[in-house]
Structure formats: structure tokens, C-alpha cells
């Protein structure tokens, strides 16, 4: 009967284990716990750390497969060493082996994409005298870069667009005026969206939508492939007929907490960018939606950053102050943006 019951890896992330990831340059701390049903004579217990990037996609029509790989971390460390040819007897019960490893500064964020990924893995190998009882356990861990973003990205950003639509020989504009409190995307926090949409056309607006889109690009053998995915979304499904409007006030757009930094720095085979998109969808066929976009840069707060106050919303929309997040329907003539 095997004397090894289990081998479990625990990471200590610090800060009450609330962060759940490591920054480049930080030291990984944790324990490997070996649970034994009976005594076991062991030569060595070794920890291995590996960080790799890989890209893989196929083009069936051309019968081609594109593959690329990178290695960012590759290291090992003895957690238990019996010396050359020796063994150490471990008794029944739980045995804890602490480990630590300082991550390099020049490594990319963890990333899991459609055609590629950056993965960091810690593996512990128990090498007993009886090779039949050899045990391996592995556990992935997150590395996320949070480079300080420039203060210029924290300024209010105004986006404005109108589009003329023709319906039954009648022409009219649909207009959107959007304000973002910042274009700095801080993972785990919110972007605040204020918007005014007016419908001067004969078409009906069926949906107003704000999304955060992640664009990932993969490179291999001189070629590339791009994939877009929505990682955060707010829908306003209220119908807006002619001469009516819709207002968003401090609507929160969540930035997911465990996404990589813009650019995926130090990765040469993948790139990641983010875009805020505001879309006004028209009912019926051939809607030709009105779309406004602006880049969002994901990273960390600048040094000395202080949380913003509510003053932004009061200055932007003096008739509506406060911290609530809502959308509301209004008469179109109150929002003549022409």
C-alpha cells in the first residue's frame, strides 16, 4: 500500500491572502505539505518553478499550424536534501516544507487566451527510496504586472458622435455624448460612465450598451491572428422612440481584477490591448449601430494616487448630484445636442 496520502501546495500571497497574485520581483512564499499514512524513506524533495508562453493556431485551408514558445522562468530548489546517496525517514502524519523564490522583474503577466497563454507553475517532486511511491504535485500561480499609469489618463474623457438615419423618406440624427471619468483601467475597480443619447430619427433605439473589449494578438512564424472578446458589459434595454432620449449617470463599468497589463510587456509572441466601446443599437434589420470607441490602458495607480471625489459628477451634470448609479428616460427636446 502506498504510504503517501497527499501532497498539497499552499501559496502565501501576503496582505491577508486577499491579493491572490504575485508582482514581478516579489518573492513567492508557501509550503508543501506531505501527508503520509506510514513512514517513508526519502532521498530528496525538490521544488521546480517554470514560466512559459505558448501560441498555437491552425489555418485549415492552407494546412498550416503556427506555433511559438517562450520561457520566462526555469529554476529548481531542494526542499529536503539527504545528501549524496542518503535517505531521511519521514514518519506517519503531515510534514511541512517551506519554500520561497524571488521572481525576476522582466517577466510578463499571466494570460489565458484563445490561441495562446502565459502560465506560471510550481511543481514539487518527492523522490523516495522506493521509486514506486514517487509523488508529484503541481499548482499554477498568477503573476500580474501593474505598471504605474500616467496621471494624464485620469482626466475626464469626452466622446461625442452623431449619425443620420433615413427611414420612410425621413432623415434624422441619433446622437450620443459620453463622458468617462478616466481612461486608466485599474483591475478590480470601476470606470464611471455618464452619457446622453437622443433620438431625432424615425428609427427606434432598442439597446444602449457599454463594453470593455480585450483585443489579443498572437504572433508566430511571421504571421499573426487577432481575437476580440468582451470582458465587461453594461446593457440598457429600454426602448427609445423618436424625440426621446436616455441618460446614464455614474453607471459603473467593472474592470475585471485578474487581467494582464496593456501590451503584455516582456512577452514577444502575444500582445493585449483594451477598448471602451459605447454602442447605440437600432431596432429592425440593417441597424447600422452608432459606435463610439476609445482606448483604455490597464495598469496600476501612479505613485501617491489619492481616491477621486464625487466632484466630477457634480461638475459634469449639475442637475444630478450624488453617488448613485442609474439610467433614466427623458424627453428628447431636453437633450438637443445639435
pLDDT for the residue 326: 57
d(CA 113, CA 257): 16
* Site of grid cell 494582464: 260
291 exposure class (CB count in 10 Å sphere: 0-12, 13-18, 19+)? middle
Do 14 and 117 have their domain in common?
yes
In a domain, 8, yes or no: yes
pLDDT for the residue 213: 97
Domain boundary among 86, 109, 141: 141
CATH of the domain at 136: 2.60.40.640
> How many separate domains does the chain show?
2
Do 115 and 184 have their domain in common?
no
Q: Please, how many CA atoms are within 13 Å of residue 259, restricted to the half-sphere of its CB?
A: 30
Domain boundary among 141, 166, 182: 141
pLDDT for the residue 321: 35
- The strands making up 270-282's β-sheet, listed across from edge to edge, are 184-185, 290-298, 270-282, 205-220, 223-236
Do 81 and 204 have their domain in common?
no
Query: What cell was used for 11?
Result: 501559496
pLDDT for the residue 329: 54
Could you give the angle at the alpha carbon of 321 between the alpha carbons of 319 and 326, nearest 5°? 95
Query: What cell was used for 93?
Result: 502524519
d(CA 285, CA 206): 12
d(CA 285, CA 287): 5
Do 186 and 316 have their domain in common?
yes
* Site of grid cell 526542499: 79
Do 314 and 220 have their domain in common?
yes
Q: How confident is the model at residue 312 (pLDDT cuts 50, 70, 90)?
A: very low
Expressed as residue numbers, the domain containing 87 is: 4-141
In a domain, 146, yes or no: no
The candidate with the shortest Cα–Cα distance to 159, out of 257, 237, 248, is: 248
Mean pLDDT of 308-314: 41
Kind of pairing between the strands at 27-36 and 4-12: antiparallel
> What letter does residue 261 receive in the DSSP assignment?
P
Helix ranges restricted to H, the chain: 311-316
Q: In the predicted model, is pLDDT for residue 323 greater than 50?
A: no
Q: What is the pTM of this model?
A: 0.86
Q: To the nearest whole percent, how much of the chain has pLDDT over 90? A: 70
Write the DSSP string, 12-45. E-SGGGTS-SB-TTPEEEEEEEEEESS-EEEEEE
Domain boundary among 141, 175, 196: 141
Q: What is the pLDDT of residues 116-144, one digit of tens each?
A: 999 999 999 999 999 999 999 999 999 99
Do 131 and 249 have their domain in common?
no
Judged by DSSP in three states, 35 sits in: strand
In a domain, 193, yes or no: yes
Phi, psi of 188 (to 5 degrees): 90, -5
Do 49 and 157 have their domain in common?
no
pLDDT for the residue 193: 95
Q: What is the pLDDT of residues 245-263, one digit of tens each?
A: 889 999 999 999 999 999 9
Query: What cell was used for 162?
Result: 452623431
pLDDT for the residue 238: 81
Max avg pLDDT among 71-75, 167-171, 195-199, 280-284: 71-75
Do 285 and 155 have their domain in common?
yes
Which one is predicted more confidently, 65 or 329?
Answer: 65
CA distances to 168, 171, 230 from 200, in Å: 14, 9, 29
Q: How confident is the model at residue 199 (pLDDT cuts 50, 70, 90)?
A: confident
Do 176 and 133 have their domain in common?
no
Q: Report how far apart the first and last C-alpha atoms of the chain are (Å, whole number).
A: 82
Do 331 and 208 have their domain in common?
yes
Q: Please report, to the nearest 10 degrees, the dihedral formed by the alpha carbons of residues 91, 96, 101, 107 taken in order.
A: 110
Phi, psi of 109 (to 5 degrees): -70, 155
Mean pLDDT of 152-173: 84
Mean of all residue pLDDT scores within the chain: 87
Q: What is the pLDDT of residues 286-307, one digit of tens each?
A: 557 899 999 999 999 998 776 6
Mean pLDDT of 262-274: 98
Mean pLDDT of 189-210: 90
Do 111 and 186 have their domain in common?
no
Please check whether residue 112 is in contact with residue 34, taking contact to mean a CB–CB distance below 8 angstroms: no
Do 101 and 166 have their domain in common?
no
The candidate with the shortest Cα–Cα distance to 10, out of 122, 164, 130, is: 122
Mean pLDDT of 41-45: 95
Amino acid at each position: 500500500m502506498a504510504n503517501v496520502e497527499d501532497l498539497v501546495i499552499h501559496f502565501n500571497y501576503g496582505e491577508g491572502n486577499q491579493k491572490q497574485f504575485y508582482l514581478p520581483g516579489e518573492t513567492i512564499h508557501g509550503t508543501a505539505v506531505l501527508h503520509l499514512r506510514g513512514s517513508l524513506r526519502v532521498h530528496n524533495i525538490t521544488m521546480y518553478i517554470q514560466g512559459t508562453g505558448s501560441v498555437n493556431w491552425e489555418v485549415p485551408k492552407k494546412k498550416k499550424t503556427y506555433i511559438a514558445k517562450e520561457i520566462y522562468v526555469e529554476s529548481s530548489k531542494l526542499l529536503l536534501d539527504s545528501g549524496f546517496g542518503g535517505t531521511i525517514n519521514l514518519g506517519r502524519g503531515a510534514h511541512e516544507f517551506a519554500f520561497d523564490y524571488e521572481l525576476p522583474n522582466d517577466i510578463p503577466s499571466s494570460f489565458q487566451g484563445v490561441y495562446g497563454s502565459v502560465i506560471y507553475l510550481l511543481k514539487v517532486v518527492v523522490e523516495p527510496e522506493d521509486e514506486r511511491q514517487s509523488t508529484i504535485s503541481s499548482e499554477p500561480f498568477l503573476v500580474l504586472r501593474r505598471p504605474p499609469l500616467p496621471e494624464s489618463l485620469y482626466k475626464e474623457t469626452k466622446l461625442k458622435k452623431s449619425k443620420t438615419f433615413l427611414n420612410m423618406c425621413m432623415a434624422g440624427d441619433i446622437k450620443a455624448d459620453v463622458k468617462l471619468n478616466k481612461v486608466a483601467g485599474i483591475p478590480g475597480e470601476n470606470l464611471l460612465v455618464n452619457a446622453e443619447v437622443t433620438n431625432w430619427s424615425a428609427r427606434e433605439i432598442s439597446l444602449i450598451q457599454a463594453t470593455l473589449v480585450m483585443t489579443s494578438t498572437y504572433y508566430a512564424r511571421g504571421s499573426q491572428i487577432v481575437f476580440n472578446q468582451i470582458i465587461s458589459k453594461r446593457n440598457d434595454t429600454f426602448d427609445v422612440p423618436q424625440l426621446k432620449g436616455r441618460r446614464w449617470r455614474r453607471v459603473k463599468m467593472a474592470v475585471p481584477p485578474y487581467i494582464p497589463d496593456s501590451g503584455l510587456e516582456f512577452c514577444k509572441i502575444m500582445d493585449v490591448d483594451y477598448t471602451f466601446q459605447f454602442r447605440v443599437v437600432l431596432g429592425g434589420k440593417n441597424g447600422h449601430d452608432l459606435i463610439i470607441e476609445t482606448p483604455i490602458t490597464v495598469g496600476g495607480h501612479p505613485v501617491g494616487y489619492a481616491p477621486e471625489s464625487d466632484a466630477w459628477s457634480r461638475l459634469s451634470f449639475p442637475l444630478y448630484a450624488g453617488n448613485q448609479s442609474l439610467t433614466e428616460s427623458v424627453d428628447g427636446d431636453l437633450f438637443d445636442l445639435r
